[in-house]
Structure 1
């Protein structure tokens, strides 16, 4: 993906990352900007929650008021409880949570100021090579050719930039590092600035020799301390001034950068200098080779081609996006053909690149913003848990990046003691719960609001998914089951019998982040929310299955079976013939809301399938009702709609939603966009979710069998994909032509029975471990022979 001009704006710059550090490369010819991030530069320090000793009694009073139909009284009580800051001496201290809304902050910028001739630049090109994770820019000026390339190496934990000049002129430039002290952007009425921004600390730049710069900083409001270490290796002359380095008479200069915070070490300077010096000793060529070899072992696992190859790069990305937005069709194309098939596969691969670049083993998981040029990003850049953090990892297993799922799962395991503390002290129950809708990666779960308690259960599905795609019983025993068990124990203690209908529900809760209308007023809180039903059922079901597989906790198994049989059923609206979002058939306050929470049991869950036709159809009606009223208007919401359309086997709707996403909800550099506060704000969610929802269009394995091409758009006439994973430990390659399956290749990682479905035909065949099978469009199976 390439451009003919330098980036004028952050949303045009090209990203690099290694899980620890990220950078946005602008490619300027006279001034180059490299904007820096480090994953643990977060504002504030953790502040524990203190609750009144009667907190749980008052919250349960809110539940009783809802059962009695006294919604206004319940709402007033619960809002007061949510905002309460208890100062009594008898308060209950919840130590392992934080009441601070921590913000993710930029590390700052490296600026290169070039001495340049008056002649204009020619032959400019700026590109990101997705196959190697290298950003390049090149141009000519005054008879000389200039080039730069930037990498973010995971194995060497280094950001490296090589600048070269060939011809009559040499490189001559000055290097400075800066960090903003103002927010630098306004989000309109989107969200109020965090109080932490009243305590922004100016960064200090130190010169430590003729080739060595260090910028020291701290995130606002006593947040993490950090240091940016930069060293230069050049064949020219490098001299230092009071706060910069000046390079002259150079044909090649290499800049090495490492960022460290006190989250990882208290000895910041020695730690960072050691990493930089080790990279310098290895040399750029070795660091470059290490980077590419490491990256390709992930990126090369999957390949996606929509029939036009992945080489439609004659036009720069901004032109290609403009063409699809303007619906400019190639005059050679026939009606019904995609405007630019390669653009979809490019976006698919770009988002795999972003995932590999932002989530690596041993690092923090990416939140709403892994790349961030501000002290004040939208939503503070933090992980919100009523969909956004989860959707960042929808792709992990199916696109064969299970190792990159682990940063989030390991973080959640670290937070389990906090979840257990909240369950015990706040709800006087067993198990674990993450209150509210946020996490603080560096510290603990947030306990700012206590309006929704199903984030932990939703995350449990990710643990079980990691097991299902591999059949790794050791992982199930040591990680997935212990986590799921804690979430199940909490639900078992907090389900309550509905006074009218007799089934089990939880509450008070809300359906993120919408409301319902009753007697002309709108309310948020209710009991028996559909999203809660779905997550509770799934948590109990997965816990039970895991316990059965491991042959443990027989009494718990018995209790779960009994409880599942008494859970509240899903309901269909008699008025609208759609799946109800609440336990009662309320009118929606915002019919076109961006959240599709009540459709969780369709996707990413799988409780409602074609096996329950009435519910399945009602849920499909719900999706169309949302869309008919303007739903899907944010990038992340549109990605969710694509996944839902795939599960409804509506390939044309999924394809239409992909086009809408790419036409109106991505920035010029392909980052996802969310319309808010009068303009677009960046959100990584649609990027990281996109490969996963596209994969759902091509294979599905949640039924107990592998279904191929379940939701193929009519416009995707010819294509191929290799390397997708299916539950049970299978790798799947597909080829189709003229909308019809040509061939399937199955590689089984385990011994067992593989079930495969295409259209209305289902076959089963026995597989051996590490064996490959060739399946024709008629589902005839043979052992695969090298071709």
Structure 2
């Protein structure tokens, strides 16, 4: 039962359902063998359309804003930034809809539902029915196969929270829908927050049956069968980030059926493809309780059960979700990967590029899944292109820049309140997402040594370097970024709360690595300050030693220089980072726990990393009262809370880093093989009580 999630009861909440996907199509399987719900997503279904939402007079306020920051006038800086320097919210990733199967008979006897993460197949069984669900990358179809021990009937419908209509056409059930032109995040309720219009994206789905069926007006009726298979195809009329979505998506959806094969062939083709990626890596950490249902296993682990292979399962689940959510030719993973049930999702289920989008791809290369990285670079390219306008409109700079939030249309402006009425200073006015993203692309190159990629990266590095050559300004004899921030964190300066600053330590860490990478292309780079260490021996987060307003803040942005940076830091910086981490503590949101695992791994502190991994496995009840701090939902999705998938990838990257560096906790005895090193070799080790012996 290795690499298996299993449960003895159906999912009642979305965070209990089991995810399957092929990078483009996502499906959440609830396992209800009376009225089954399979929640569907398609990675290009977003609100909005390409538009220039940069504030055209923003640059007029740059110098007053800088002056207020240099003068330490935090109130004035906040007012200028929010009122005169703002942008607009990014667009939202949207749910496609639900496939509903109403079975004529049901039985609770012998019930079990499983997800085999080595094959990407979800199976729900009772003594009457066996329902198998997967989403095939080769066929680009979702597949639902039903076998029954006696003849049964079923009614199949498809619905959506979005504007839609359903009909049948010859041998297919069709859903034809419209995405909104406007979909604001749930925390913004001023003006038009959700509105349909002719320029919004269109989407379509089609369901066909392998087996005997009757197509009613808006449903499929299957009568007295012992086996049938549903093929589900999804599509939108999205073209690319710079083109208006035009055309009819229905023919596009129907075209995928040309890949249709008999069920057994579809299953083999899918499992061969999925397993070829998943089976590259194998780990075992010793003790396990794989015969216990996963939801109970999480609860018992929290109480101290000896189950180190639950950590191995968490690691492999991060790899599983990578394969399921990001493949060549798909869109980059959002805050929820490709799995989102909400119309106005938390943070719009978009791209938060001050940590979360980057974290989504931390485990691709080290976990031997380099093929899954491509969509990230594509998103970075789109933002680089749009960022040329942002660089001019906000900073009068050449080159390109982008801020903390983006979307399928490549948004690069400072995302926040479009009316400038609310306080966006802690997140919107940080301009360092592109050098971070390109650093991650260069790290991908270090693993792949793909010389074609090296040449492809070069013009984007040049473009972003041009921006920083223009943007950096001299202050107290040093070149600094301004305005900037340490993302989402605030400080106290003599009783005044602030966020905006010049040259926060995160910017130093990012540019330190970015300029190092630029020099690999032969570019000349500016000189910037070193990583600052404060009077208390910790890495200082801001340009000055301000008092922290939240010592245990979820972001550890100032420690970028240690992880994910590829720059080798001095022993002094590493020791200062350890002190900083100890002060931040061992709690936090789900993704914050993942980042801290990576940091302690990079610092060769196995036992501290293990504490955080165990905290990330704390069971979170999706139907209970939300508790502070992260953990894992019953389906092992990362709980911020709410659900954010980045924590799954962060902890997987951290565990891989521990193994590569030989930072193995004393509790672990077992082996690891297939994890990738940057020199192109693969890890193959055995260890006993934390000590490598082979």
Shared fold by TM > 0.5? yes
User: Does 1:147 pair with 2:130?
Assistant: yes
CA shift, 1:238, in A, is: 1.7
Q: 2:115 aligns with which of 111, 115, 128?
A: 128
How far, CA to CA, are the matches of 2:644 and 2:616 in structure 1?
A: 13
CA shift, 1:406, in A, is: 0.8
Q: 1:528 to 1:50 in 2, by over 3 A?
A: closer
CA shift, 1:412, in A, is: 1.6
Q: Secondary structure of the equivalent of 1:733?
A: strand
Moved over 4 A (4+): none
Q: Secondary structure of the equivalent of 1:595?
A: coil
CA shift, 1:17, in A, is: 0.3
Deviation sequence 1:415-472 (CA, Å, 0-9, x none): 32212232234322222111x2111114543543550110001001112111111223
How far, CA to CA, are the matches of 1:242 and 1:470 in structure 2?
A: 52
User: Does 1:587 pair with 2:547?
Assistant: yes
Q: 1:655 to 1:315 in 2, by over 3 A?
A: same
5 Å-filtered alignment, 1:16-35, equals 16-35=20-39
How far, CA to CA, are the matches of 1:313 and 1:569 in structure 2?
A: 49
Q: 1:626 to 1:138 in 2, by over 3 A?
A: same
Q: Secondary structure of the equivalent of 1:80?
A: helix
How far, CA to CA, are the matches of 1:274 and 1:46 in structure 2?
A: 26
Q: 1:443 to 1:644 in 2, by over 3 A?
A: closer
Q: 1:498 to 1:608 in 2, by over 3 A?
A: farther
CA contact (8 A) 2:587 2:615 kept: no
CA contact (8 A) 2:671 2:686 kept: yes
Q: Secondary structure of the equivalent of 2:576?
A: helix
CA shift, 1:489, in A, is: 1.9
User: Does 1:682 pair with 2:643?
Assistant: yes
Q: Which residue of 1 aligns with 2:284?
A: 305
CA shift, 1:491, in A, is: 1.1
Q: 1:455 aligns with which of 424, 433, 436?
A: 433
Q: 1:587 to 1:38 in 2, by over 3 A?
A: same
5 Å-filtered alignment, 1:425-504, equals 425-434=393-402, 436-449=403-416, 451-477=429-455, 479-499=456-476, 502-504=477-479
How far, CA to CA, are the matches of 2:326 and 2:56 in structure 1?
A: 39
CA contact (8 A) 2:86 2:414 kept: no
User: Does 1:733 pair with 2:650?
Assistant: no
How far, CA to CA, are the matches of 1:110 and 1:661 in structure 2?
A: 32
User: Does 1:174 pair with 2:177?
Assistant: no
CA contact (8 A) 1:44 1:100 kept: no
Q: Secondary structure of the equivalent of 2:352?
A: coil
Q: Secondary structure of the equivalent of 1:649?
A: coil
CA shift, 1:725, in A, is: 1.3
How far, CA to CA, are the matches of 1:172 and 1:348 in structure 2?
A: 40
Q: Secondary structure of the equivalent of 1:228?
A: strand
5 Å-filtered alignment, 1:687-726, equals 687-699=648-660, 708-709=661-662, 711-716=663-668, 718-726=669-677
Deviation sequence 1:598-633 (CA, Å, 0-9, x none): 111011114463xx2222222211111111xxx642
Q: 1:474 to 1:115 in 2, by over 3 A?
A: closer
Query: How many corresponding residue pairs?
Result: 644
Q: Which residue of 2 aligns with 1:348?
A: 315
CA shift, 1:345, in A, is: 0.9
How far, CA to CA, are the matches of 1:626 and 1:443 in structure 2?
A: 33
Q: Which residue of 1 aligns with 2:191?
A: none
User: Does 1:38 pair with 2:42?
Assistant: yes
CA shift, 1:739, in A, is: 2.4
How far, CA to CA, are the matches of 1:515 and 1:317 in structure 2?
A: 39
Q: Secondary structure of the equivalent of 1:461?
A: helix
Q: Secondary structure of the equivalent of 2:521?
A: helix
CA contact (8 A) 2:387 2:413 kept: no
CA contact (8 A) 2:23 2:137 kept: yes
User: Does 1:363 pair with 2:330?
Assistant: yes
Q: Which has the higher contact order (CA 8 A, sep 6+)?
A: 2
CA shift, 1:250, in A, is: 0.3
CA contact (8 A) 1:440 1:446 kept: no
How far, CA to CA, are the matches of 2:292 and 2:113 in structure 1?
A: 12
Q: Which residue of 1 aligns with 2:600?
A: 645
CA contact (8 A) 1:114 1:172 kept: yes
Q: Which residue of 2 aligns with 1:654?
A: 609
5 Å-filtered alignment, 1:210-289, equals 211-221=171-181, 222=197, 223-234=200-211, 237-264=212-239, 266-279=247-260, 282-289=261-268
Q: Which residue of 2 aligns with 1:669?
A: 635
Q: Which residue of 1 aligns with 2:625?
A: none
Q: Which residue of 2 aligns with 1:64?
A: 67
Q: Which residue of 2 aligns with 1:781?
A: none
How far, CA to CA, are the matches of 2:549 and 2:20 in structure 1?
A: 41
CA shift, 1:220, in A, is: 2.1
CA shift, 1:277, in A, is: 4.3
With normalisation by structure 2, the TM-score equals: 0.90
CA contact (8 A) 1:19 1:358 kept: yes
CA shift, 1:68, in A, is: 2.2
Q: Which residue of 1 aligns with 2:139?
A: 156
Q: Secondary structure of the equivalent of 2:229?
A: strand
Q: Which residue of 1 aligns with 2:105?
A: 116
How far, CA to CA, are the matches of 2:233 and 2:227 in structure 1?
A: 20
Deviation sequence 1:311-351 (CA, Å, 0-9, x none): x4211101111101222x3xxxxxxxxx2012111111111
CA contact (8 A) 1:366 1:392 kept: yes
Structure 2 portions without partners, runs of 5+: 182-196, 240-245, 417-427, 620-630
CA contact (8 A) 2:503 2:542 kept: yes
Deviation sequence 1:707-738 (CA, Å, 0-9, x none): x40x211211x121111111232222121123
CA contact (8 A) 1:162 1:252 kept: yes
Q: Which residue of 1 aligns with 2:500?
A: 525
Q: Secondary structure of the equivalent of 2:693?
A: strand
Q: Secondary structure of the equivalent of 1:605?
A: coil
Give RMSD over aligned pairs.
Answer: 1.8
How far, CA to CA, are the matches of 1:296 and 1:244 in structure 2?
A: 34
CA shift, 1:541, in A, is: 1.0
Structure 1 portions without partners, runs of 5+: 85-98, 181-200, 330-338, 548-555, 676-680, 700-707, 744-787
CA contact (8 A) 1:487 1:539 kept: no
With normalisation by structure 1, the TM-score equals: 0.79
Q: 1:602 aligns with which of 550, 562, 566?
A: 562
CA contact (8 A) 2:405 2:411 kept: no
How far, CA to CA, are the matches of 2:54 and 2:326 in structure 1?
A: 34
Q: Secondary structure of the equivalent of 2:618?
A: helix
CA shift, 1:276, in A, is: 1.9
How far, CA to CA, are the matches of 1:45 and 1:267 in structure 2?
A: 16
Q: Which residue of 2 aligns with 1:392?
A: 360
